[in-house]
Amino acid sequence: MLNRILTLLLTLTANSSGIAQEIQPSPDQPTAVAKTVEAKTAAIETVAPGSVPESGETQPKAEPITPEQEKAINAFIKARDAWSDTLVEMKSVGIRYSNDEDRSPEAKKEYYKLRDLGRQQMNDVFDRAVDLFLARKGDFESGSLLATMLEYREDLSIYENSLEAAEALLETDLTYPFLYKIAARSAFVEGKFDRVMKHYEAFVKVNGPEKLDKVDNMIVNVLPIYPDLWKRELELCELEAKADDLPRVLIETTRGPITIELFENEAPNTVANFIKLVEDGYYDGADFYQVIDDLLALGGDPVGDGSSTSGKFIPDEHELPNARLFFRGSLVMAKMPNPQDKSNYLPNSASSQFVIALMPLIQLKPSQTVFGRIIDGMEVVATFRRVDPSAKKEKSIQMPPDRIITAKVIRKRDHKYEVKYVQ
């Protein structure tokens, strides 16, 4: 899917920059850029409204461009070209690395820098495309890019800041199934709860309820109770933002950086344990050995198969009266399953492993401690390579899971963080 976005981007910029070419990732590349330019998308042309593309289909005659529209067009072109330039530079670094011309630490650092810049610029192109499409409904270039990027986002479960674009395209009578799904899911994630069901109802009318995914049924089931829980969470986040003193951890992963804020007020001992493990370097190099679409990313096990612990266990804090609940981006302590009851966990069995929730998990009776949330980098988590140990193994090359490169405490309160363990 990212191949299609890049093919479209490069085609849209081909007339002015001459860079419509294949983008190859290096073997060590943490973010897939592109592997093969698809033949069917290579024929996409940059066409002005009113011109005739190679297919022979006449575009509608253009309306006069207003100053507002011209401003939106120029902003879109500027953002698009900046992203394109970064991808070309990224390709150059990757080729030198692949060919053993430059495998220095500086080259790898430069590649990661370009990767993170490219991700920021991709989001900027998306935002500028939304502005252009809203200013000039039916704009061919921005509409094509938005549709492709929204399909890419839906495929990777990137729901933040996607609702406006999805609804804008749906208003033009496009009926792609993924547009309804990402519109509904984004409305849910963004707290626009009154707009969730209308998109699901439109999807079901065209495609039938059996085509809804598991995550869609989950959203529909929790929708009656979720808004009140989300309102409480936002109120707590607002108070925390005013105090601005919660501990934070920066995790550098093979897909990019993630910043975590820790809920010391509600789970002080769990936070102290996590900080100690981070400062001891325990998580450095640990895999995210289980990543399941719209459910979770599980890590914190240096062995990489879910079997290890730090050797010490901490008391549960999920039963405290002010315990936090599961939301998208929440960090949750993993626990050992109860051998007598696989649907439950052994009490006080949390150690080092943790879960990043990719969607809310609303439980009437929580059984695991929520101790933090991602405040920057949820899009990075969404790109983690999917690993499902329970899935049937295909006879093909298995790519390694994404992992933590380093974890570093970047802020904490001015006191000692002493951990109380289970005796």
Best-predicted range by mean pLDDT (35-49, 298-312, 368-382) = 368-382
Please measure the distance between the N-terminal and C-terminal CA atoms of the chain and give it in whole angstroms: 51
On whether both 393 and 249 belong to a single domain, the answer is yes
On whether both 359 and 247 belong to a single domain, the answer is yes
Whichever domain contains 333, its CATH number is 2.40.100.10
For residue 403, what is the DSSP state?
B
Does 402 map to a domain?
A: yes
In which band, very low, low, confident or very high, does the pLDDT at 58 lie, cut at 50, 70 and 90?
low
Run of H or E residues at 356: strand 354-357
Q: Which residues 6+ apart lie within 8 Å of 29 measured at CB?
A: 94, 111, 115
On whether both 298 and 392 belong to a single domain, the answer is yes
Q: Is the Cβ–Cβ distance between 404 and 284 less than 8 Å?
A: yes
Q: How many residues does the chain have?
A: 423
For residue 350, what is the DSSP state?
B
**Across all residues in the chain, what is the average pLDDT?**
85
The verdict on pTM exceeding 0.75 is: yes
Q: Is the Cβ–Cβ distance between 309 and 353 less than 8 Å?
A: yes
Across the range 107-120, mean pLDDT stands at: 93
On whether both 270 and 379 belong to a single domain, the answer is yes
- At 311, which amino acid appears? G
Run of H or E residues at 96: helix 67-98
Q: Within 10 Å of residue 311's Cβ, how many Cβ atoms?
A: 8
78-92, 197-211, 291-305, 380-394: range with lowest mean pLDDT: 380-394
The whole-number pLDDT of residue 63 equals 73
On whether both 363 and 246 belong to a single domain, the answer is yes
On whether both 47 and 168 belong to a single domain, the answer is yes
Does 227 map to a domain?
A: no
On whether both 192 and 266 belong to a single domain, the answer is no
Q: How far apart are CA 96 and CA 344, in angstroms?
A: 51
Q: Which residues 6+ apart lie within 8 Å of 106 measured at CB?
A: none
Across the range 183-201, mean pLDDT stands at: 96
**Tokens at residue 391, please?**
């899935």
On whether both 190 and 273 belong to a single domain, the answer is no
Q: How many domains does the chain have?
A: 2
On whether both 199 and 241 belong to a single domain, the answer is no
**Tokens at residue 45, please?**
């042309």
Q: How far apart are CA 338 and CA 71, in angstroms?
A: 61
Convert the pLDDT of each residue in 356-414 to its tens digit: 999 987 765 678 999 999 999 999 999 999 998 777 666 667 789 999 999 999 999 99
The whole-number pLDDT of residue 7 equals 55
Across the range 232-257, mean pLDDT stands at: 96
The whole-number pLDDT of residue 46 equals 33
Residues of the chain above pLDDT 70, percent: 83
Report CA torsion sign: 185, 187, 193, 196: negative
Q: How far apart are CA 384 and CA 30, in angstroms?
A: 9
On whether both 35 and 124 belong to a single domain, the answer is yes
The whole-number pLDDT of residue 364 equals 55
Run of H or E residues at 338: strand 337-338
Convert the pLDDT of each residue in 62-99 to its tens digit: 678 899 999 999 999 999 999 999 999 999 999 998 89
Q: How far apart are CA 15 and CA 27, in angstroms?
A: 31
* pLDDT of 34 strictly over 90: no
The whole-number pLDDT of residue 8 equals 52
Convert the pLDDT of each residue in 8-25 to its tens digit: 554 444 433 322 222 233
CA 197 centroid distance within chain: 23
The whole-number pLDDT of residue 1 equals 54
Among 170, 191, 222, the domain-final residue is: 222
Does 228 map to a domain?
A: no
Residues of the chain above pLDDT 90, percent: 70
* pLDDT of 50 strictly over 70: no
Q: How far apart are CA 238 and CA 244, in angstroms?
A: 10
The whole-number pLDDT of residue 340 equals 82
Among 222, 250, 269, the domain-final residue is: 222
* pLDDT of 37 strictly over 80: no
Q: Is the Cβ–Cβ distance between 193 and 223 less than 8 Å?
A: yes
Q: Which of 287, 253, 246, 242 is nearest to 408 (CA)?
A: 253
Q: What is the dihedral of CA 374, 380, 383, 389, to 10 degrees?
A: -50
On whether both 56 and 196 belong to a single domain, the answer is yes
The whole-number pLDDT of residue 343 equals 73
The whole-number pLDDT of residue 318 equals 93
On whether both 294 and 401 belong to a single domain, the answer is yes
Q: How far apart are CA 148 and CA 360, in angstroms?
A: 26
Across the range 280-290, mean pLDDT stands at: 96
* pLDDT of 280 strictly over 70: yes
Run of H or E residues at 238: helix 226-243
* Cα Rg of the chain (Å, integer): 23
Does 421 map to a domain?
A: no
Of 59 and 213, which is predicted with more confidence?
Answer: 213
Q: Within 10 Å of residue 340's Cβ, how many Cβ atoms?
A: 7
Across the range 310-334, mean pLDDT stands at: 94
Does 232 map to a domain?
A: no
Among 222, 255, 282, the domain-final residue is: 222
**Domain, as residue range, for 407:** 237-411
Report CA torsion sign: 56, 60, 63, 65: negative
